[in-house]
Amino acid sequence: MDKIVSLVVEKTGISESQAQTAVITVANFLKDKMPAGMAGQVDAYLKDEGGAGEGFGDVAGKLGGMFGKK
């Protein structure tokens, strides 16, 4: 999860603590909306961070746009 948090910090300019809260909030939201069998994959992804710079990079970039960062 550290890579994702760092990416959100980089793209948005928010603090590491705020970025961690954002990542956890989004992950919990996704898990609540997914079928039970798939929700565990979010946790597994965050632990392994396989390809973290890819899928989450787009989301972090869009968050950065909201904060006037690119």
Kindly report, residue by residue over 15-62, the tens digit of the pLDDT.
Answer: 999 999 999 999 999 999 988 888 888 888 888 765 544 455 555 555
pLDDT of residue 60: 53
Question: Is residue 7 a contact partner of residue 60, using CB atoms and an 8 Å limit?
Answer: yes
Residues 61, 11 contacting (CB under 8 angstroms): yes
pTM of this structure: 0.64
